[in-house]
């Protein structure tokens, strides 16, 4: 008789069952490149980035050391206030950027959250957004490196665009809704009230963003 696998976590409010791969558990219990204390010296690393806020629960700080000749990521340290999925995803992310001599920064910036999830053997759907935190922190860190090395033309600016002026809903709000599990216009509208009483053009924009972010994070 086939053994029934027990869920690793059961959501106490919804009853949803979450299963974690052995790789996720390995990286959660033994995270790679974790830095619990801030560097003793400011010049120990070449760049630094921080995203989020401890007040809202999700925060990540990252430090990077770069080979100046090749721009390869020689070392990447991090710490986070986050859940098991965020810790495991960031641990794997740091490995992917530093293994085999390190990725050049340009290549590292192309690593997608779904690439990390593939190496982890997947994450529960409700936890996919946790894999994005490392991606955002590294972007901040890379931009810090570009500024410090006088490469301001390479700084990547990610702004927000208002898609529904009545409720001041931006493309970033749509992104967050998709990361939280919304897949259709109706599901996003339920979360954000976007498009209520608006023109068909707003719905078209929102549906295009849902497709874009669904593809970006879920493939």
Complete DSSP assignment for 164-181? ETTTTEEHHHHHHHHHTT
| In-domain check, residue 3 | no
| In-domain check, residue 64 | yes
Same domain, 102 and 183: no
Domain CATH number, residue 181: 1.10.10.1100
Same domain, 208 and 142: no
- Residue-level pLDDT at 15: 54
Q: What is the mean pLDDT of residues 185-192?
A: 89
Count H helices and E strands in the chain, helices first: 8, 7
55 vs 13, higher pLDDT: 55
Contact 124, 85 (CB under 8 A): yes
- Is a pLDDT exceeding 90 seen at residue 27? yes
What's the whole-number average pLDDT of the chain?
Answer: 84
Q: In 3D, which of 123, 121, 66 has the Cα closest to residue 98?
A: 66
- Residue-level pLDDT at 54: 55
Residue 56 designated active-site: yes
Same domain, 92 and 25: yes
Other C-beta atoms within 10 Å of 154: how many?
15
| In-domain check, residue 76 | yes
| In-domain check, residue 143 | yes
Task: Pick the last residue of a domain from 154, 170, 202.
Answer: 154
Same domain, 142 and 46: yes
> Which residue of the set 4, 40, 55, 56 is catalytic?
56
- pLDDT-based confidence at residue 56 (cuts at 50, 70, 90): very low
Domain CATH number, residue 73: 3.90.1010.10
- Spatial distance between the Cα atoms of 108 and 156, rounded to a whole number of angstroms: 14
Tokens of 14: 């919804």
- Spatial distance between the Cα atoms of 62 and 50, rounded to a whole number of angstroms: 6
- Ranking 7-16, 67-76, 89-98, 174-183 by mean pLDDT, the lowest is 7-16
Task: Pick the last residue of a domain from 135, 154, 173.
Answer: 154
| In-domain check, residue 4 | no
- Residue-level pLDDT at 45: 97
Task: Pick the last residue of a domain from 106, 122, 154.
Answer: 154
Same domain, 44 and 148: yes
* Structural domain range at position 93: 9-154
Residue 83 designated active-site: no
> Which residue of the set 64, 92, 120, 130 is catalytic?
130
- Spatial distance between the Cα atoms of 53 and 92, rounded to a whole number of angstroms: 22
- pLDDT-based confidence at residue 164 (cuts at 50, 70, 90): confident
Same domain, 126 and 171: no
């Amino acid at each position: 008789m086939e053994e029934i696998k027990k869920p690793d976590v059961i959501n106490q409010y919804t009853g949803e069952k979450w299963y974690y791969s052995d790789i996720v558990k390995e990286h959660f219990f033994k995270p790679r490149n974790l830095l619990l204390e801030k560097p003793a010296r400011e010049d120990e690393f070449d760049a630094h980035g921080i995203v989020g806020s401890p007040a809202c629960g999700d925060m990540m700080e990252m430090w990077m050391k770069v080979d100046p000749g090749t721009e390869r990521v020689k070392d990447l340290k991090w710490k986070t206030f986050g859940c098991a999925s965020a810790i495991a995803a960031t641990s794997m992310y740091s490995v992917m950027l530093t293994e085999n001599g390190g990725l050049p920064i340009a290549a590292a910036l192309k690593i997608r959250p779904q690439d990390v999830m593939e190496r982890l053997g997947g994450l529960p759907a409700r936890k996919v957004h946790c894999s994005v935190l490392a991606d955002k922190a590294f972007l901040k860190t890379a931009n810090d490196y570009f500024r410090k090395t006088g490469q301001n033309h390479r700084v990547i600016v990610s702004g927000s665009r208002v898609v529904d002026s009545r409720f001041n809903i931006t493309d970033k709000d749509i992104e967050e809704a998709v990361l939280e599990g919304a897949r259709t216009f109706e599901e996003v509208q339920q979360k954000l009230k976007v498009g209520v009483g608006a023109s068909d053009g707003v719905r078209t924009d929102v549906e295009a963003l849902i497709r874009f972010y669904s593809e970006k994070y879920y493939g």
